[in-house]
Structure 1
Amino acid sequence: MTLLPGLFFAVISGLIGLSASTELRRADYTATCQEIATAVSSASKVYYNGSPQYTEDNEHWASSSSQTSACSFEPANAQDVGIALQLLAKDQTPFAVKSGGHSANPGFSSTPGVQIALFSFSEVVYDSNAQTATIGIGLIWDDVYSKLEQYGVTVVGAKTTGVGIGGIVLGGGYSYLSNQYGLSVDNVVAFELVMPNGTVANITNSSNPDLFYGLRGGFNNFGIVTTVTMKTYAQSQVWGGLITYTADQWDAVNTAIANYVSTVTDPKACLYSTTDYASGVTVILTILFYDAPTYPDGIFDELLAIPHSVEDISTRAYLDLIQTLPANASSGLRAMFHWVPIEQFTSSMLQMVKNQTLFYGEQLSQSSGVLISYDLVPLLPSIYSHSDTPAAFPSLRDSGQGYSFIEVYYGWTDPNDDEVMLQVGAESAAYMKQFAVDAGQDVANALLYPNCAPPGTALTDMYGDAASTLHSIRSAVDPGNVMGLTGGWRF
């Protein structure tokens, strides 16, 4: 049974209040903290409320995703992660695993128990012979791009600044490079995985194809990943950046985007346009990207010719382009995401998104809605065809159909508005998907992207028939259901 979004949110956020029994459990959780501190090596640390490290470990990009844990644990090596997992299992203490802390779903990487923060896994090791990079899961992608820049290479990671490694490589990972190389999960070569029984294993397609399949899209159902090894690609300077339009140019921008998606098939080109509504003001922020120092004439000319208020476009380093979009400006708000797969951004589809933005922007401004955003991400239909190795997400590669999508983001301040924001976001997403279906687009059974699916989403809506296979893999690797003590999508 799927919980109603509001009820689900209330339960996992602890909005029903702390009872005496909960306080007793907290004391038990602290005992587990002390056990971990005693058992692990001196390089690993346990922190308690009041210390700066504890605050950093528990803090999330969305304030609605943070909880007050009994303690935080910063392991220095995979072996100490294994020791902690065994103690957590013994005591049946809830825990959370945080990479970058960018998940908007409450309880997915936060807990009232032991908060595990993987910041110490912060190395980037480039292997020029294998053309791979081994990346610590505690980094953000900005760090990885910066480190690899000196070697003239990059990896397929997040398209916005400030996002952690874990959710991307374990959940899917759409990038400006995805039209050329696929999703992040398509480019993983190996995972260092701390198994639920505490042992450390190197998981590859040859060593353990079932786990390799499950980890690429299946998140933390199979243990805790500490490092990931990915394919690298030669990376020159790129052309592009941010261009900003005011609302009076909205129709012209929509026409230009529709023309772009109907004519441009160059996999080096990418466009990402976000419409932000805040306090009655609409701003359209569009990232133009071409994977070369210059772009071919004609691809972006129509968008560049539209009068605009801000232009930050040049030939630049890849990281510099990533950082042009102010994605962290909304950090600290309560937040929700939703995701609408579509086949193509037609003029009527873009007009519909405009209407949704205005309708819900005005409606939610009556509450504590600070910002609503409808993000347009057109991609080539071949996006899922870049790997011959099956992955948990997307699990329907056989269809041969890759999807563009609309990413819905709402940010607000008042916890009392949590339920209405989730309900309205779901209502808007459902309307847009049905609009696409009614227009003849074959998206009725398209799977939702797990990183942008809201609380309460059914597993089959994200993984389809693969959900039962993933459940079997998890049961085999975690018969004691240790990973059931943590949050996230559970098989």
Structure 2
Amino acid sequence: MGLASLALVGQFVALALVGQTSALTLNRPRAVGAPEQLTALVDALPIEPDEATTLESSLVQDSDLVAFAQGKSVVSTTIASLACGAIKLALGGSLVSLSPVNKTAITVNWSQACQTEPQCAVQPVSALQVSIALLIVNFFNVPFAVRSGGHSPNPGFANVAQGGILIDLQKFKEIIVSKDKKSVKVGPGLRWGEVQAALDPYGVSVIGGRIPAVGVGGLMLGGGLHHFSNEYGLAADNVKSFEIVLASGVITTASAQQNSDLFWALKGGGPNFGIVTTYELYTVPVTAIWLEVRIFPNDQALTLIDALAIYQNSVTDVKCTAAFVVGTDVTTLGLIYSGPLTKEPACFAPFKQITGYQSALGPGNSTMNILTQALGSTFNNDPARQPLNIYANSLTPDSHDYRAVSTKIDAQMYKDVYTFWAAKAAALRVKTGAGMTFAIQPIQASLAAASKAKGGNPTGIPAVNHQWWTTVVDWQKASDDAEVLGVPIATTEKWKALAKAKKLDLDFTYMNDASRDQNPIGSYGDANIKKLKTISKKYDPQQIFQNLQNDGFLLKKV
């Protein structure tokens, strides 16, 4: 082991010796032959004295591990293997899958490009176990990744290859509704469809994910756009508290009353501050809604875009939501109102005269649960080589990508970009079989106002009516990666060029729609970026989440 690695072990020992749990094991019996550094690690773990002695006795049997702790060279195994073995001894064999890792743990990731095999996959069931795993990861100084639902299409963001450790939160499945039904605690291993189904009998809902297969954790840390965000703000704006494990292993709470700076940072600041193990969310009294989903042929897309721009410029009712998605075969228009009605809402008048469509759902009153189930059947997010959605037809994609850009409202600009995209998407499909969507997400100025009213968040969302464009791309062959990814990149650049020429550009990138090479935190504004970095150094002074975390939208990239 080099001097740099030895210094890192020394830093950990210093941290461990002042850890919150070292008092538990201060006077316990020591294992024979245990070096000081290994004893410091065990003493730092939040376990009982007898458990600590038993663990230390097991760890000291591994000569390579002892050598590592003493700062000596280890040649017969890898450091990651030592770390995985230590975690398995500390947590128990059933919670740790060693290499070769169980295939199920690998294929949870939605995109084939993200399905890499880590050195081991750890599946803790409590914040205490997350703390133990994270402390051991720190001690061995190995790369790690954290995964909630694994829906990110960005390689390395929710998994790690050999030499790294995956902390998989799939077993955090709790759903606890408060007695007054005004809040609910949910685990990061849940999918949003599970959350909505569980809340339906209580007559409440939450501001969370729109697609039921998306995981709770990733969406919340990226902000989270919901059907009713124009009324209630982002999903993260509706968090009452976060239970979080810090890099030091400390388990704490972030809320408006406790660690309020960390609370603010977690509401869209990404995976930069710790591992969130429980989200306590405020519920909203919305279960009955009005909706209609209309399916049009794509030759009506330009007409619909004109109507969409009129809608965006005229809508004032925060209960109105319109969703516009063009696929390679059909165009979908979703109209949703956050409450029951006896007739179509006046806000959707710009779309009223456009005929030639089929109603896939509605029109009329329905429920959030029915909408969620419908979206679940429309968007098949099974990573096991299943069609992605209704636009993909017979395509069985292996890899996926997102992309994001934001602009102010202009119908001609929308149509110019759409025409540019449609030609490229059609040619790409013929050549590679890739499927691609073109989605304009209308954002009202009220979203930023709702966020501010709930304490604010770091995202810096523009306080004007505007749009967030995104695409979902899916394809099969790795050899087509560069060509396929080139189309959404070119489309994003087209958006930016036209918007800048018309003075309609906005420097904002929504994290949960951003691709691997984009920099959403860089669009949050200088003051918010500076504040986020200060908070990161306060709660993670050794910058473990910047230096050991495998990848993600990290502050070190900004």
2:142 corresponds to 1:93: yes
Return the match for 1:158 from 202, 209, 226.
209
Structure 1 equivalent of residue 22 of structure 2: none
2:401 corresponds to 1:351: no
Return the match for 2:336 from 283, 289, 294.
289
Structure 2 equivalent of residue 257 of structure 1: 308
Unaligned runs of 5+ in 1: 1-23
- Give the 5 Å matches for 1:314-333: 314-325=364-375, 326-328=378-380, 329-330=387-388, 333=398
TM-score scaled by structure 1?
A: 0.86
Deviation of the 1:238 alpha carbon = 1.2
CA distance in 2 between partners of 1:65 and 1:401 (Å) = 36
Secondary structure of 1:220's counterpart equals: coil
Whether contact under 8 Å (1:245, 1:310) holds in the other structure is no
Whether contact under 8 Å (1:64, 1:104) holds in the other structure is yes
2:426 corresponds to 1:368: no
AA aligned opposite 1:473: I
AA aligned opposite 1:343: K
Residue deviations 1:18-61 (CA, integer Å, cap 9, x gap): xxxxxx9994323322211111267x611245675x42455211
AA aligned opposite 1:455: R
2:498 corresponds to 1:472: no
Structure 1 equivalent of residue 37 of structure 2: none
- Structure 1 residues 143 and 349 mapped into 2: Cα distance closer, same or farther (>3 Å)? same
2:193 corresponds to 1:146: no
- Structure 1 residues 454 and 478 mapped into 2: Cα distance closer, same or farther (>3 Å)? same
Identity in percent: 27
Whether contact under 8 Å (1:98, 1:115) holds in the other structure is yes
Return the match for 2:517 from 443, 452, 456.
456
- Give the 5 Å matches for 1:117-128: 117-128=168-179
Deviation of the 1:367 alpha carbon = 4.2
Whether contact under 8 Å (2:269, 2:521) holds in the other structure is no
- Give the 5 Å matches for 1:130-209: 131-209=182-260
Deviation of the 1:319 alpha carbon = 2.3
Whether contact under 8 Å (1:190, 1:203) holds in the other structure is yes
CA distance in 2 between partners of 1:310 and 1:258 (Å) = 22
- Structure 1 residues 109 and 464 mapped into 2: Cα distance closer, same or farther (>3 Å)? same
Residue deviations 1:267-315 (CA, integer Å, cap 9, x gap): 11111111112xxxx3102222111223545443564652124522242
Whether contact under 8 Å (2:301, 2:326) holds in the other structure is no
CA distance in 2 between partners of 1:208 and 1:129 (Å) = 25
Whether contact under 8 Å (1:96, 1:116) holds in the other structure is yes
AA aligned opposite 1:384: A
AA aligned opposite 2:211: T
Secondary structure of 1:365's counterpart equals: helix
Computing the radius of gyration from Cα coordinates, the structure with the larger value is 2
CA distance in 2 between partners of 1:218 and 1:276 (Å) = 31
Return the match for 1:300 from 339, 348, 353.
348
Return the match for 1:380 from 423, 436, 444.
444
- Give the 5 Å matches for 1:6-21: none
Structure 2 equivalent of residue 17 of structure 1: none
Structure 1 equivalent of residue 294 of structure 2: 243
AA aligned opposite 1:456: D
Structure 2 equivalent of residue 77 of structure 1: 126
Whether contact under 8 Å (1:132, 1:229) holds in the other structure is yes
- Structure 1 residues 195 and 58 mapped into 2: Cα distance closer, same or farther (>3 Å)? farther
CA distance in 2 between partners of 1:273 and 1:248 (Å) = 14
Deviation of the 1:208 alpha carbon = 0.8
- Structure 1 residues 322 and 37 mapped into 2: Cα distance closer, same or farther (>3 Å)? same
Residue deviations 1:316-367 (CA, integer Å, cap 9, x gap): 22022133232224285312211121222x3313312430332221332254
Whether contact under 8 Å (2:200, 2:287) holds in the other structure is no
2:464 corresponds to 1:401: yes
AA aligned opposite 2:330: V
CA distance in 2 between partners of 1:76 and 1:452 (Å) = 29
- Structure 1 residues 413 and 98 mapped into 2: Cα distance closer, same or farther (>3 Å)? same
CA distance in 1 between partners of 2:408 and 2:433 (Å) = 30
CA distance in 1 between partners of 2:316 and 2:485 (Å) = 36
Deviation of the 1:233 alpha carbon = 0.8
CA distance in 1 between partners of 2:77 and 2:488 (Å) = 34
Whether contact under 8 Å (1:169, 1:217) holds in the other structure is yes
Deviation of the 1:371 alpha carbon = 0.6
Structure 1 equivalent of residue 89 of structure 2: 38
CA distance in 2 between partners of 1:391 and 1:97 (Å) = 26
Return the match for 2:104 from 55, 76, 80.
55
Q: Identify which of structures 1 and 2 has the higher relative contact order when contacts are C-alpha pairs closer than 8 Å and 6+ apart.
A: 1
Deviation of the 1:111 alpha carbon = 0.3
CA distance in 2 between partners of 1:172 and 1:275 (Å) = 24
AA aligned opposite 1:470: L
Secondary structure of 1:448's counterpart equals: coil
Deviation of the 1:479 alpha carbon = 2.2
Whether contact under 8 Å (1:392, 1:470) holds in the other structure is no
Aligned residues: CA RMSD = 2.4
- Structure 1 residues 363 and 252 mapped into 2: Cα distance closer, same or farther (>3 Å)? same
Structure 2 equivalent of residue 68 of structure 1: 117
CA distance in 2 between partners of 1:297 and 1:35 (Å) = 60
Return the match for 2:548 from 480, 485, 488.
485
Whether contact under 8 Å (1:242, 1:324) holds in the other structure is no
Structure 1 equivalent of residue 502 of structure 2: 439
CA distance in 1 between partners of 2:548 and 2:373 (Å) = 36
Residue deviations 1:249-268 (CA, integer Å, cap 9, x gap): 32332233233223332111
Deviation of the 1:128 alpha carbon = 4.1
CA distance in 2 between partners of 1:141 and 1:369 (Å) = 30
CA distance in 1 between partners of 2:307 and 2:110 (Å) = 33
Secondary structure of 1:30's counterpart equals: helix
Structure 2 equivalent of residue 20 of structure 1: none
Residue deviations 1:207-259 (CA, integer Å, cap 9, x gap): 11221121111222111001111111112311214321112332332233233
Structure 2 equivalent of residue 339 of structure 1: 404
Number of equivalenced pairs: 457
Structure 2 equivalent of residue 267 of structure 1: 318
CA distance in 2 between partners of 1:354 and 1:403 (Å) = 17
Secondary structure of 2:469's counterpart equals: strand
Whether contact under 8 Å (1:381, 1:401) holds in the other structure is yes
2:487 corresponds to 1:424: yes
- Structure 1 residues 142 and 26 mapped into 2: Cα distance closer, same or farther (>3 Å)? farther
Residue deviations 1:103-137 (CA, integer Å, cap 9, x gap): 11110011012222112111111114371111111
Structure 2 equivalent of residue 15 of structure 1: none
CA distance in 2 between partners of 1:378 and 1:142 (Å) = 23
Residue deviations 1:449-471 (CA, integer Å, cap 9, x gap): 12222223346533221222212
- Structure 1 residues 25 and 172 mapped into 2: Cα distance closer, same or farther (>3 Å)? farther
CA distance in 1 between partners of 2:250 and 2:524 (Å) = 28
2:165 corresponds to 1:114: yes
- Structure 1 residues 132 and 347 mapped into 2: Cα distance closer, same or farther (>3 Å)? same
